[in-house]
Amino acid sequence: MGLISDAMESFVNLASASFALAMVTIAARPADAGHPYGHHKAEYFSSGFEGILIIGAGCAIVVFALLRLVRPEPLAQLGWGTLLAVLSSVLNGGLAWLLLRASRAHASIALEADARHLMADVWTTAGVVVGVGAVALTGWLWLDALIAAAVGLNILREGARLVWRSSQGLMDAAIDPSAQAALQAALARFQAEAPDGAKLRFDDIVTRSAGRRRFADLHMHVPGDWTLQRSAVVRDDVESALVAAVPGLRVSIQLLPLDVEPRVGLQEEQP
C-alpha cells in the first residue's frame, strides 16, 4: 500500500506538471486589449488545480489504507518496487531543486508549487521505504497500511496548503513582507534625500500581487508651489527607485499638494 500510494502521487505529479506548463505559458503572454494588466494570475489556477489533484489522491490513499488496515495482506515482490521508488525519489529531489531555483529567478508561484510538491514526494518515499523495511523486519503487516495512511494525510496537508495560497493570490493579497519592507525603505530613503531639501510625504500605500507581477498604488504629497513639470520629474524618480527596489513592480503614483488630503483613501471603499 505504501508503494501504491507513492505511485498514485507520481501520476498526480504528471497531470499537475502538464497543467502547470500550460498555465505558465499563458502567464508569460504580454498584456493585450482584453487583459491590460497581463495574464499573470493564470499561475494561481495551476497551483490551485495541483492542490485539488493532491487532495483527491490523498483521500483515495487514506481510504484504501484504512481498508487494508482492516484486512491486512502479506507483502510480496518488494524488490523492484522499492528500487524504483528510491530512484524516482532521487530524480524528484534533483528536479525540485532546479524548479525552486527557477521559481525564485522568475517569481513564479506555479513553479514553486510544483517544486514543493516534488519535495513532499521525496520525504513521502523515504517514509514508504522505511515502512516497507519495518514490515519485512517485524512481520507486522498493519505497518504497511498505517504508513500509507500517514502518507495520504501528508499529501492532504500539502494539497490544502497549495489551494489556500492560490486562493490568496486570486483575492489580490498584498505583496510579500520582504518586498513591502524594500518598498518602504526606498520611500523613506527618497523622502530623506528629497531634492533641494523639499518636504515630501507618501501615504495611502496599497499593494497587490498577481503571479510574478506586483502592483503598488500610493499618494505623493509635494509642496503646493511646485510646478506640474517639477512634480512629474520627482514622481518619475520615485517610480524608478521603487521599481529598482522591488523587481516586477508596476507603480501608480497620484500627485497631491502637502496641505490636501484625498476625500476617500485608496484603502477605503466608496459607500
Residue 8: pLDDT above 90? no
Instruction: Estimate to the nearest angstrom the gap between the alpha carbon of 150 and the chain centroid.
Output: 25
Rounded to whole angstroms, the Cα distance separating 119 from 94 reads 9
Higher-scoring residue by pLDDT: 139, 164 = 164
| Grid coordinates of 27 | 502567464
Distances (CA, A) of 49 to 26, 40, 185: 15, 16, 36
- CA distance to 102, 110, 199, per residue, from 179 (Å): 19, 19, 25
Distance between CA 57 and CA 153 in Å, rounded? 10
- Per-residue pLDDT of 66-86, as tens digits, reads 877 777 766 655 666 677 777
pLDDT bin (cut points 50, 70, 90) of residue 266 is very low
* Residue 99 reports pLDDT greater than 80: yes
Q: Which domains does the chain have, with CATH numbers?
A: 2-170 (1.20.1510.10), 177-257 (3.30.70.1350)
Phi/psi zone of residue 77: left (φ > 0), alpha (ψ -120 to 50 degrees), beta? left
Percent of the chain with pLDDT over 90: 9
Please tell me the predicted confidence (pLDDT) of residue 74.
65
How confident is the model at residue 271, as a pLDDT?
44
Among the residue ranges 71-80, 175-184, 220-229, the one predicted with the least confidence is 71-80
Residue 133 has pLDDT above 80, yes or no: no
- The pLDDT of residue 77: 55
- The cell 520525504 sits on which residue? 123
